[in-house]
Structure 1
Amino acid sequence: MRKSAALLITSLSLLISHSLYAAPLRVAADPVPHSEILNYVKKIDPKLDLNIIEMTNGANPNELLASGDVDANYFQHLPYLHEQEKALGKKFVVAAAVHIEPLGIYSHKYKTLADLPQGAKIAIPNNATNLSRGLWLLQDNGLIKLKGERSAESTLVTPKDIIENPKNVKILEIESPQIPRSLDDVDAGIINGNYALEAGLSPAKDALGIEKAKDNPYANLLVTTPVLENDPRIKQLAKDLTSPQVAEFIRTQYHGSVIPVAGSAHD
């Protein structure tokens, strides 16, 4: 009788455990590096049934999340998420901060930033958060000076906030995915890490100037909805993405072009 009861309890436990992951977890992600990292998670945690939906058609992953077409997304940093919450009138939940893709300055024409000529045309992402982020990167590299001090609470800056511009650089605001294809037409371009990788550029090697990882507020996030915040599949994916194994994969795969936030063997 006791043996039968024990078997029944074991069977029920297995059934409950299996039911937690019965439905695939649908995650919208950019192809590089996000989908690549998620595919690695599939290898190390096959029990977590991931359905990775690559965003290659211009769809907004936050709109998909809000409408229930996906369970989570993995492509954005916190300032952009806050901007999207306002635009969509929705609240989302950050499940994990995973990695940083340093913003970099690239050129097909010049070897160093010092070589940029007077009146150089610099392409920069046209969305509010990355525009601000790019302008701070130009200041960090001595090309411009902005009014005010940078802080996590500071208002986003625009080209109107430039107070010193010794080379009289011209800021051209362009859609982020278009900037790698525009490098032949400008003197330099500021490119997000994922788009640089997709274009065959190595941020760690090819960027003439690059964001620092320390105290960087632009970590890429695993994001879900308040309804799914405590879903065991979400919690398991968050645990996997911040594990030492995934951190080591990121370091080995991207050679400093993508930087893990946590889970490093050296933490």
Structure 2
Amino acid sequence: MIAPEPEGLPAEAIVAALGLDAILRGDPSFTVERQNDAASFTKRARALLLKALSSKDPEPDEAEEPDFDYTTVSDLLRDVGEAQNQALFDALPDDMQDAVLAAATTAIEYLQDAQPRRITKTTARLEVSPPEPYELDRFVRAWRVAVDPLSAVKAMTVGALDMVMVGALAAAYPAIYELLASPGGLLDDAIATMKARRGETWDVTDDQDRQIKILLQEDPIDLDLANDFADLAPPQQAPPGKQSSRSIKPTDELLPSQKTPT
């Protein structure tokens, strides 16, 4: 049984169609093409999940990722305000404005909280500079999911979905994540469709299983591999216990009246 559509899905699909980066820049455009993208969001997400479950040997996507400039993104997240709100309202019909603004605000606030910073205090001001490469890489992945939530599912089709992407998706677009991963959602529907197409004996590969576990925010550890490694590892002997200088003495079980005077 397919779960009902999450309540906030239409608004989040519109944010995804407009592009969060365009909303932050203050130039969203709800063209006919973007309206169609929003209307077909569920269909496109389902198609990507089926692709992820169909491909036995996914190949890495060689398409170039969009450029990311930390300073530009930092400025966008810092300067968001009334101008962006008004531009979004101007682009949308009246009956959509409040819901879409709320959905966009959720995604923007997530990014503002997630943005790593190195702050240097000078005499005149606080300087914000890019974080360490490891933190920056994590934020770039989160940013790209916030700008295009379907990029997380696209990553799944090539075996590249990770917990950072899923965390960003669940936090920035909770209704979209519910659509994908909740019981009776699109993932369950895609698995049922694959079994209907290929028979009840069909099953996911180990790599697909790991990607599914990541999408569901479960521990993707390979237990079989861990057990095999444990079998190969030499047993470790416990260190010998320290001998006590005190000896254990037998308990005197005689009552005082039963003892023979010496």
Q: Which TM class, normalised by the smaller chain length?
A: under 0.3
Structure that is richer in strand per residue: 1
How high is the TM-score relative to the length of structure 2?
0.25
Q: Rg larger in 1 or in 2?
A: 2
Higher relative contact order (CA 8 A, sep 6+): 1
Larger helix proportion of the pair: 2
| TM-score of the pair, normalised by structure 1 | 0.25
